[in-house]
Chains A and B, each alone.
Chain A
Amino acid sequence: MSYLKITNLSARLAGSDTRILRDVSLSVDRGQVHGLVGESGAGKSMIGKAVLGILPRSVEIPSGSIELDGVDLLQLAPAERRRRIGASCALIPQDPLTALNPSRRIGGQITDRLVDILGWDRARADARALEILGEVQIADPARVLRCYPHELSGGMRQRILIASAFAAEPKLIVADEPTTALDVTVQKQILKLIAAMQARHGTALLFVTHDLGVVSKVCGSLSVLYGGLVVEETGVRDFFAAPRHSYSRALLAATPKYTDPLASLVPVPDAVIAAAQAQVAAADRRWPARAERWPHG
């Protein structure tokens, strides 16, 4: 049974007809890793933000449901929704340089949630912070807890963010391009770390990325997005063996091969783009009927 189940989720810029997500449905099972891939602006980050309740104010959700453990988050009162998300979800953000508060020590930033949401006492939260930093292989965690973010390297900070996300044993983690801001050598270590932590803690992971190479290493299943529309949802093995959608095939062909670095890049053909856009337009024709049923989101 799936832990996160998104059904027919639509999103648009508030007060306008600019659509961001179109009838998105996907599900993530307990302990599974689901990748969200697509080009810039395809809406992959928006799905993650919608799940975590941190959509920008300018975005509204006219229809759809986001079920977390069988409860539709969109039907909850804001305070209850935040409490539920805080207790069971966490975020691994994209840019480790802005994802830690520069004027607060690392320790407090990890223990906040444990104390505020889970109601642990200080000593227990501090012990947990030490333990989880050890788990992500940070040397001398006691010292790191007293550091400010600017005293640590980018790779260290990303490790801390991963530790922080797992500290409260969440059921679901949304990783929003967690390796994009890092250089390639660190990327690999961080990916391994995320995969290892996910396996050990049995967390469901929604992995947002534009890098199919990353998907093949980390994810068990994936959704391919184009223009806010899921064009293909499938298992990773099937996808890499035989992608069904023409856009998926083109994306796969466009991925540079490290084994043959001199081969010229293959752009996504115009015909494929046109086909995908036609599909988006078809989805839009189904939109108005639902928008009437959900006037205020």
Chain B
Amino acid sequence: MADARGRVRHRAGARLWLSGLWLGALGLAALLAPWISPQDPLAQDLFLGRLPPFWMQGSEPGFYLGTDSLGRDVLSRILHGGRVALIVALVAGTLTCVVGASLGLMAGFLRGWVDVAISRLIDIWMAFPPVLFSILLIAVLGPGLFSIILAIVVIDWTRFARVVRAEAMAQGAMDYVASARVAGRGRVSTMVVEILPNVLPTIVVLFTLEMGISVIVEAILSFVNLSIATDDPTWGGMIAEGRTSIHQAWWVIVFPLITLFLTVLSFSQLGEGLKDRFDPVLR
């Protein structure tokens, strides 16, 4: 028993460290992108077009992951694209979490007409196809960082609301809630002091998952050219551009894809790792 628990703990630790390391490194790289990028991510040079990565024949020094068909450095563009991806992940993830979790908490604990109203809203909301909905939203709002973030919040809050509502309902039926009520705690105070700490582990997992999803949504939107309006590089945009030259220069699409994949994976693993480590019930 103790042994099995130790093993679980150990695996969770590795998960936490590996994902944390990747996200930390990425965050640092994104923050320092203007100073550590080997090249200007926007500089085009047709003489340097489609250079392969450094280990292949015909690579040029200073262009470590090769260049795209316009001669722009892939590594520098990935680093700069990371800034957009991480800003969207953080801001959109946080806002979605706050909006969805508060609504879910209220619906699940206060019940009554609050629950009816919020639950019906969730049902209606979830009937919209999410990607089309976000594209429509951005088409109306116009592209830009703000629109992407808003689109993610508007679409994904239901994910939090549903799960947190179910969790809050389960917690609300526990005897400790009855005891708190007898002791004179008001409903809102009970919700915040007694229920919230117990749904927090769930919220944290959802939050990290949501950051990963935000990164994907941002990539999807920039893939269809509905992301930020400027020429600033984004991972989705790079993947879209790389697709056209996949037979001549695979590295243009593969490196941003790997970065995207590792980032989303790390976010989800970070959430699981944090839950295993800090959930007092599992501990």
Q: Do A and B come from one complex?
A: yes
CA distance A104 to B190 in the complex (A): 13
Q: Are the C-beta atoms of B197 and A93 separated by less than 8 Å?
A: no
Complex interface bits, A214-249 against B, C-beta within 8 A gives 1, otherwise 0: 000000000000000000000000000000000000
Q: Number of residue pairs across A and B with beta carbons under 8 Å? A: 75
Decide yes or no: A104 and B197 within 8 Å by CB, A54-B182, A90-B182 being known contacts: yes
B175: which A residues are within 8 A, CB to CB? 93-95, 98-99
**Can you show 16 pairs from A to B with CB atoms below 8 A apart?**
A52-B178, A57-B111, A85-B184, A87-B184, A93-B176, A93-B178, A99-B174, A99-B179, A101-B197, A102-B198, A102-B281, A103-B280, A103-B281, A112-B183, A113-B183, A117-B183
Which residues of A sit under 8 angstroms from B182, Cβ to Cβ?
52-54, 85-86, 89-91
Top 6 nearest A-B pairs (CB, nearest first) are A86-B184, A99-B175, A93-B175, A103-B197, A113-B183, A98-B174
- Cβ of A150 under 8 Å from chain B: yes
Give chain B's interface secondary structure class: helix
Q: Is the CB of B280 within 8 A of A148?
A: yes
Bound CA span A37–B78, Å: 72
Within 8 A of A (CB), among B180-238: 180-186, 193-194, 197-198, 200
Q: Which residue of B lies closest to A85 (CB)?
A: B182
Interface size on A, residues (CB 8 A): 32
By a beta-carbon cutoff of 8 Å, the part of chain A in contact with chain B is 49, 52-54, 57, 82-83, 85-87, 89-91, 93-95, 98-104, 109, 112-113, 116-117, 148, 150, 161, 164
Task: Give bound CA distance, A164 to B112, whole Å.
Answer: 31
The answer to whether A101 and B184 touch across the interface, beta carbons within 8 angstroms, is no
**In the docked arrangement, what's the CA distance between A94 and B178, Å?**
11
Query: In B89-142, which residues have CB < 8 Å from any A CB?
Result: 111-112
Within 8 Å CB of A83, what residues of B?
Answer: 184
CB distance from A133 to the nearest CB of B (A): 16
Q: Which residues of B contact A103 (CB under 8 A)?
A: 197-198, 200, 280-281
State how many angstroms separate the Cβ of B203 from the closest Cβ of chain A.
12
Contacts A57-B111, A98-B176; A113 near B181 (Cβ below 8 A): no
Given contacts A89-B182, A103-B280, A164-B179, 11 further A-B pairs with CB under 8 A are A49-B178, A53-B181, A82-B184, A87-B184, A90-B183, A93-B175, A93-B176, A117-B184, A148-B280, A150-B281, A161-B179
Residues of B near any A CB (own CB < 8 A): 111-112, 174-176, 178-186, 193-194, 197-198, 200, 280-281, 283
Task: Chain B residues near A148: list those with CB within 8 A.
Answer: 280
- How far apart sit A90 and B181, CA to CA, in the bound complex (Å)? 10
With contact pairs A103-B280, A116-B184 given, residues A93 and B198 touching in the complex (Cβ less than 8 Å): no
A161 to chain B: closest residue by CB: B179
A54 contacts B181, C-beta separation under 8 Å = yes
| Cα(A70)–Cα(B112), bound, Å | 32
The answer for the CA separation of A93 and B178 in the assembled complex, in Å, is 9
Question: Are B183 and A101 in contact, CB atoms less than 8 angstroms apart?
Answer: no
- Which residues from B are CB-within-8-Å of A98? 174-176
Distance from B156 Cβ to chain A, minimum over Cβ atoms (Å) = 26
Interchain nearest-CB distance for A159 vs B (Å) = 15
Q: Please, which residue of chain A has its CB at the minimum distance from the CB of B174?
A: A98
Shortest beta-carbon distance from A170 to chain B in Å: 9
Which residue of chain B is the closest to A96 with respect to CB atoms? B175
State in angstroms the CA–CA spacing of A87 and B176 once bound together. 18
Given the contacts A148-B280, A150-B281, A150-B283, A100 and B176 also touching, CB distance less than 8 Å? yes
The distance in angstroms between the C-alpha atoms of A116 and B181, with both chains bound, is 12
Residue on A nearest B283 in the bound complex, by CB? A150
A104 to B193, CA, bound (A): 9
